[in-house]
Structure 1
Amino acid sequence: MNRRDMLRFGVGAIACAAIAHPARAAPSFDRFRVPEWSRRRRFVSNGFGRIAFIDQGSGDPALFLHGYPLSGFQWRDAVEQLGLFYRCIVPDFLGLGATEAAEGQDLSAPSQAAMLIALLDALKIARVHVVANDSGGAVAQLLAAHHPDRVRTLLLTNCDTERQSPPPAMRPVIELARNGLYVKQWIEPWYASRDRARAADQFGGMCYADPANPTDEAIEMYFGPLLSSPARARQAEAHAIAQGGNALRGIAPMLARCPVPTRIVWGTADTIFEPANADFLAQAFGNSRGVRRIEKAKLFWPEERPDVIVEEADALWRGAKA
């Protein structure tokens, strides 16, 4: 079995498991758990801070951009499969995950994009495929608009758009963060009670379709670093505050001229971003490859449906070579 067949087998195995247990999220092959992910983590120190990332696999490089307040661990199951044939670069954004931002570092989307360019330069990677979710999608659009020579393809899932950045649901988070209360009133209780974090009216119920998500280990990976010190808590809140302005305002002409092949895959049960954003994005990009809708999928569906990410990414990336 060659590597391409292995990738297809992996997608099929995940899909079959999801069909067999439709009430549950598609399972992982259990390779990238917390100890393995932590062991593989690397760091690059530069003017932005100490940037944490995973560098897994070989072949054409791909960059995976997570949402807020998650970390690159969001992509673990998709990377497990795509890493069989591609080089997967999975960073933690400034102020989130294991990345430690430099003192006073701006944490807005433009600065996050600049940090990623510096990371790619440090790794001597000229061009990447980009996969993004949630607030990571805003950063991805900035990369494609301002650095189209660095982006080979773009796969966007539920995320910010020029018409909705930030989404209304983010406003309470931003307000709490401005008052220094977001971590204390939301993150700390979720971390202390994993069942509370997964409740229907809390983080899990708002952002995941499967009531078993986020898993205990995901909660540990996402929230643990943000509670590790007062400085990290302040950075997590500063990251939220930085989303208060629309970093995508005025980007439409650049996206219309952007030559990057762009595919949109959208969860239809998202309560954070409006469904209309999917078609808005597809129409905004000059080289759009259309929209695929995933029924009953919420904001962080890429974590629950790695089979879809693997299928769509592999098809888009192979198509870019044709």
Structure 2
Amino acid sequence: MDLQTFDSRRRTVRTRGGELSYVSAGEGRTALFIHGLGTNGYIWQNVLEQLSGERRCIAVDFPGHGRSPARADGEASLPAFAESIEDFCEALGLDEIDLVTNDTGGAVGQIFVSRHPQRIASLVLTNCEAHDNLPNEAFRQTVNLARQGQLAPMASRMLDDLGASRSSGRGIGANFEHPERLSDEEIRAFLEPVAGSAAAIDHFQRLLASLDAADLLAAEPGLRRLTAPTLLVWGTADLHFEVKWAYWLRDAIPGAREVVEIDGGKLFFPFERAAELVPHLRKHWS
């Protein structure tokens, strides 16, 4: 599924917190896919392509990401994003969903399920924050720039030099195993919503500045009561989230069954290696 096909399936829903854009493909039981910071629902496009013949697959964009507008007066924080997922489910009448997350979408997912466990039938966490690993060490410098109001120059450079952004050692490319395979169109699809204008950068900067381990720690008691079947699928070469955090989550969540390691996978392996992730989703859901 290319970007044009992905966007052809795009819809918008008005929620209590504002409009949210999402892509829906297929029919039947609902699997809801949520992304991390600085990406959007497009990160799941290859997964949706393989699963849309089996169930209703929905990839939603957080406020200020993808095609979901950021409200000028809206709160930019992970708890606010968790409530936007609750508003989204309420607006579409979604219950007993199979929730699949990546990157900081996993932190949002943990907050969401701790507050609304009745909404989910199962949970899948791929490389993401856990316990007090927020912001993670590799991301801390970027967060500090945001807190100092200095993120704009870096964001502008990323869009001005897509080659550098694609580089395996810099920018968004560092989170892909094969960044050289990313097209300019794909890089822009990820970066422009969060760095394409002064307003977008301001919202993203406020969001990064708000990152606080206390929000994740507050969700931990609920996480430790979660009995919904939970699967951890982890890329082993991630710069941000070591495999040890997958095992921490497995031990913390009563419903956790196993950890699946994707050898050599980086943070965004669901985009690059969907064919390896999908069989584990099918097995988990069965």
The alignment's TM-score, normalised by the length of structure 2, stands at 0.94
Q: Please give the residue correspondences for 1:1-322 in structure 2 after superposition, counting only pairs within 5 Å.
A: 32-185=1-154, 187-318=155-286
Deviation per CA, 1:242-287: give whole Å up to 9, x if none.
Answer: 2244321143332221111100011111111122101101101001
CA contact (8 A) 1:138 1:247 kept: no
Amino acid at match of 1:236: F
1:120 is paired with a residue of what secondary structure? helix
2 CA distance for matches of 1:107 and 1:88? 26
Deviation per CA, 1:22-47: give whole Å up to 9, x if none.
Answer: xxxxxxxxxx3222222221112234
CA contact (8 A) 1:144 1:260 kept: no
2 CA distance for matches of 1:261 and 1:109? 23
1:239 is paired with a residue of what secondary structure? helix
CA shift for structure 1 position 198: 1.6
Alpha carbons of structure 1 residues 178 and 40: separation in structure 2 relative to 1, 3 Å: same
Deviation per CA, 1:51-70: give whole Å up to 9, x if none.
Answer: 11111111110110111210
2:224 is paired with a residue of what secondary structure? helix
CA contact (8 A) 2:77 2:207 kept: yes
1:166 is paired with a residue of what secondary structure? coil
CA contact (8 A) 1:264 1:292 kept: yes
Superposed CA RMSD in Å reads 1.6
2 CA distance for matches of 1:272 and 1:280? 15
The alignment's TM-score, normalised by the length of structure 1, stands at 0.84
2:158 is paired with a residue of what secondary structure? helix
1:149 is paired with a residue of what secondary structure? helix
CA contact (8 A) 2:16 2:87 kept: no
CA contact (8 A) 1:204 1:213 kept: no
1 CA distance for matches of 2:228 and 2:114? 9
1:62 is paired with a residue of what secondary structure? strand
Percent identical residues: 31
Alpha carbons of structure 1 residues 213 and 273: separation in structure 2 relative to 1, 3 Å: farther
Gaps of 5+ in 2: none
1:162 is paired with a residue of what secondary structure? coil
1 CA distance for matches of 2:41 and 2:213? 24
Amino acid at match of 1:314: R
2:127 is paired with a residue of what secondary structure? strand
1 CA distance for matches of 2:262 and 2:107? 20
CA contact (8 A) 1:205 1:211 kept: yes
1 CA distance for matches of 2:166 and 2:117? 39
**Range with bigger deviation, 49-58 or 38-47:** 38-47
Deviation per CA, 1:53-99: give whole Å up to 9, x if none.
Answer: 11111111011011121010000000011111111111111221211
The number of aligned residues is: 286
Gaps of 5+ in 1: 1-31
Deviation per CA, 1:140-162: give whole Å up to 9, x if none.
Answer: 11122221110111111100101
CA contact (8 A) 1:96 1:235 kept: no
1 CA distance for matches of 2:188 and 2:231? 31
- Higher gyration radius (CA): 1
2 CA distance for matches of 1:35 and 1:200? 26
CA contact (8 A) 1:161 1:277 kept: yes
Amino acid at match of 2:55: Y
Alpha carbons of structure 1 residues 236 and 204: separation in structure 2 relative to 1, 3 Å: closer
CA shift for structure 1 position 127: 2.0
